């Protein structure tokens, strides 16, 4: 099944069957998605009959998960989208801050200033502004499920025409073919299955429970998800935040972590990451914990360190998807020279 959701660093789209296989092994009925991101893992598990609870710190991820785990009134959403796709363009907050081009200093050029694209061509930004304002104007008349699905639809449309397919920290120096296409708003994938629950908060303050808990924490230096996908959060909230224009793409002031000398979370620092993972395992009440690990060069912890923590709380095995085999922790002596996806499986 094709799940319609946004592009994301570290997406698990190609790993869904592998993740589900771990739940099948223990005959799990309940599943907790601890860092739900795009919501694709939650969507897949619900579709396959699991009762899913999920959590993420980003508000836009709360919207995605709420839609996937609770569904929406399809006919009502399609009716509104038909109108939204025809609504008159509006020059608003998004158009003023994220459309057209702007002059900026180009790194590595000795201070040269060039006109570079922002996130959207003006026509698309105005359509996104108009769509989001329309939804907000109807909010009191819409059910929560319909409202979330419509907001998700706008984010999906914006994601398709944003002038960078990797993140929202910068835009490419030339307009891409996708960015020049007219934005179209389509509904998210409607998932059938047991109704679930999406949470929005710090994972260390959320009770982790379920037959299986799946964790894919952001433990790589530099991939600060709140900064990488700040525009999705702004569209989801539609709070039109105050922006810092020192970046290639203006950012809300509250996600300029390094500039504000703020911590983005416990998993981004080597010392705090170890403590954060220990707390995760301590709080976990699952039969099985499955932790994703990609051996990227900027990880805060090595796979060996994570295995050591896991062994304090249960029996550990490590599966490498690249090699399609199971490796015991003692044989995992060196980090891979190529990027591979590993699963650290802890059974209590």
* 17 lies in the same domain as 107: no
Q: Quote the longest CA-to-CA distance of the chain.
A: 63
Query: What is the spatial distance between Cα 111 and Cα 295, in angstroms, rounded to a whole number?
Result: 35
How many angstroms separate the Cα of 56 from the Cα of each of 61, 181, 197, 202, 261? 6, 31, 12, 7, 23
What pLDDT does residue 324 have?
A: 41
- Residue 328 reports pLDDT greater than 50: no
Q: What is the pLDDT of residue 221?
A: 64
The per-residue pLDDT for 267 is 80
Q: Please say if the pLDDT value at position 295 is more than 80.
A: no
Residues 119 and 242 placed together within one structural domain of the fold: yes
Domain range enclosing 318: 1-72+191-224+264-348
Average pLDDT along the chain? 89
Shared domain for 143 and 117, answered yes or no, is yes
Residue 313 has pLDDT above 70, yes or no: yes
The reported pLDDT for the residue numbered 195 is: 97
Q: Exposed (0-12), middle (13-18) or buried (19+): which is 126, by Cβ within 10 Å?
A: buried
Is residue 331 scored above 70 in pLDDT? no
Is 60 exceeded by the pLDDT of residue 169? Answer: yes
Q: Tell whether the model's pLDDT for residue 332 goes beyond 60.
A: no
Number of structural domains (the chain) is 2
**67 and 199 in one domain?**
yes
pLDDT digits (tens, 9 = 90+) for 11-33: 888 899 999 999 999 999 999 99
* DSSP string covering 49-98: T-EEEEEESSHHHHHHHHHHHH---HHHHHHHHHHHTTSPP---HHHHHH
In a domain, 256, yes or no: no
The three-class DSSP label of residue 143 is: coil
Residue-wise pLDDT tens digits, 36-56: 999 999 999 999 999 999 999
């Amino acid at each position: 099944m094709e799940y319609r959701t946004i592009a994301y660093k570290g997406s698990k789209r190609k790993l869904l069957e592998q993740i589900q296989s771990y739940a099948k092994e223990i005959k799990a009925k309940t599943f907790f998605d601890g860092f739900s991101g795009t919501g694709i893992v939650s969507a897949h598990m619900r579709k396959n009959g699991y009762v899913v609870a999920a959590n993420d710190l980003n508000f836009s991820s709360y919207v995605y998960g709420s839609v996937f785990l609770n569904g929406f009134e399809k006919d009502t959403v399609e009716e509104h989208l038909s109108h939204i796709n025809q609504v008159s363009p509006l020059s608003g907050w998004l158009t003023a801050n994220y459309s057209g081009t702007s002059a900026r200093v180009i790194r590595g050029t000795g201070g040269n200033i060039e006109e570079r694209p922002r996130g959207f061509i003006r026509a698309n930004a105005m359509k996104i502004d108009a769509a989001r304002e329309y939804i907000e104007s109807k909010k009191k008349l819409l059910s929560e499920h319909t409202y979330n699905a419509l907001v998700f639809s706008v984010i999906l449309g914006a994601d398709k025409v944003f002038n960078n397919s990797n993140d929202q920290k910068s835009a490419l120096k030339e307009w891409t073919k996708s960015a020049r296409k007219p934005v179209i708003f389509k509904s998210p994938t409607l998932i059938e299955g047991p109704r679930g629950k999406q949470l929005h908060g710090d994972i260390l303050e959320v009770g982790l429970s379920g037959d299986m808990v799946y964790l894919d924490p952001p433990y790589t230096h530099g991939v600060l998800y709140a900064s990488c996908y700040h525009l999705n959060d702004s569209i989801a909230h539609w709070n039109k935040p105050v922006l810092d224009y020192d970046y290639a793409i203006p950012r809300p002031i509250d996600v300029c972590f390094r500039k504000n000398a703020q911590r983005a979370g416990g998993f981004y620092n080597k010392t705090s990451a170890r403590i954060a993972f220990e707390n995760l395992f301590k709080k976990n009440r699952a039969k099985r914990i499955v932790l994703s690990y990609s051996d990227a060069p900027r990880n805060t912890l090595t796979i060996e360190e994570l295995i050591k923590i896991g062994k304090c709380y249960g029996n550990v095995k490590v599966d490498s998807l690249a090699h399609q085999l199971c490796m015991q922790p003692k044989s995992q002596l060196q980090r891979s020279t190529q990027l591979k996806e590993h699963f650290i499986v802890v059974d209590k």
